[in-house]
Structure 1
Amino acid sequence: MAPSIQSRTKSIGGSDRFLSDLALHAAALFHGPAYEQYAAICYRRHPELDMLEVLVVTSRQSGRWIIPKGWPIKGKKPHEVAAIEAFEEAGVRGKIKKKPFGYFTYLKQLDDGNRVPCVVQLHLLEVEKICENYPERGQRSIDWVSFTEAASRVREPELKGLFLIAERKLRRTKAKK
């Protein structure tokens, strides 16, 4: 017997809903402007377990799991914006890669209710410090999880894949050291 739509949706972290949402907004995707945002995949090596963990945060409006990201900031380079967002949204600081790791797309709901397509440039950030006080403390939940768990929590299919690619890359980098 084929799995129900509900069980399939639950098992892939809402990707079916995400893709249906994209289809509903196809005109905006193909005819309107695309906006840019910058984000960080924040990771660390678990001190006792010697395993990689990645940080996920909740969005302020919907409470869905995402990664720290934000709009361009005048005078700042994309990797600098990604590092600023990681601190503001989750209180983490560390070494950020200047070179983009990848890109993903999603529909951003604006304050006026409109949805616009966003292309998000991703940068890897190795967390060195976790701060107690940061601008959005108390406005979001944060969680350190495996890359596989992070992929299951986010809705965006491209981001799911990028989590898994990042984990493989970081494991290879560790093995070379």
Structure 2
Amino acid sequence: MPPPEPADTRTQYGALCWRAGREGIEVLLITSRDTGRWVIPKGWPIDGLSPEASAAREAWEEAGVEGQADTHCLGLYSYDKGLGRGEGPKRQTVPCVVAVYPLQVSALAGSFPEEKQRRRKWFRPRKAARKVAEPELQALLANLDSRAVFPGKTAGGA
């Protein structure tokens, strides 16, 4: 099968959910529904919402995150999205590029739409980088610097 053409690539919006911890920035990872791997909340564009608002909606549905998404994109990463149910060679995949927006978490809800399908856990950025599978997302997390990534906000006073 030939590699997909660039026109076949789809866009998703992701939320890098963060908070100020005692030792600096912490990021929230969730498990995917199908494989249980660690990921960030992400999803398809939502009609009528900006990219960062779409990312915030996904963060609510997938992780119960309440907070404010920033308008600047932190970076991009790519992955192959499995479509449909099941495993094996018949499962269709589509290449996706995820635009990642920082979202400062003000609260985590105890009840949210996908709470029974996912786990969520806070990590320091370098440890989070080791948990995710996508190389570009690993690099984004490993190089997270609160002053550069979150202008006007610092780990100690976010």
- The alignment's TM-score, normalised by the length of structure 1, stands at 0.77
Give the SS at the match of 1:166: coil
Q: Give aligned-pair identity as a percent.
A: 39
How many aligned residue pairs are there? 150
Which of these residues, 79, 84, 89, is aligned with residue 57 of structure 2? 84
**Equivalent runs, 1:87-166 vs 2, <5 Å:** 87-111=60-84, 113-166=91-144
Tell me the C-alpha RMSD between the 2 structures: 2.2
Relative to structure 1, is the Cα distance of residues 145 and 26 closer, same or farther in structure 2, using a 3 angstrom cutoff? farther
Partners in 2 of 1:42 and 1:94 — Cα distance? 9
Unpaired runs of 5+ residues, structure 2, are 86-90
Which is helix-richer, 1 or 2? 1
Looking at both structures, which has the greater relative contact order when contacts are Cα pairs under 8 Å and sequence separation is at least 6? Answer: 2
- Report the TM-score, using the length of structure 2 for normalisation: 0.86
Question: How much does 1:52 deviate?
Answer: 1.5
**C-alpha distance in 2, partners of 1:155/1:27?**
21
CA distance in 2 between counterparts of 1:84 and 1:171 reads 20
Partner of 1:13: none
C-alpha distance after superposition, 1:127-164 (max 9, x if no partner): 01111111001210111011011100001000011112
Aligned with 1:58 (options 26, 31, 43) = 31
Give the Cα–Cα distance (whole angstroms) in 2 for the partners of residues 171 and 78 of structure 1. 17
Q: Determine the structure 1 residue equivalent to 2:88.
A: none
Residue aligning to 1:4: none
Correspondence 1:40 to 2:15:
yes
2-side partners of 1:175 and 1:67: how far apart?
20
Q: Cα–Cα, structure 1 residues 120 and 26, in superposed 2: closer, same or farther, change >3 Å?
A: farther
Aligned-pair CA distance for 1:31: 5.8
Larger strand proportion of the pair: 2
List structure 1 segments (4+ residues) > 2 angstroms apart after TM superposition.
Answer: 164-173
Measure how far apart 1:165 and its partner are.
2.8
Structure 1, unaligned runs of 5 or more: 1-24
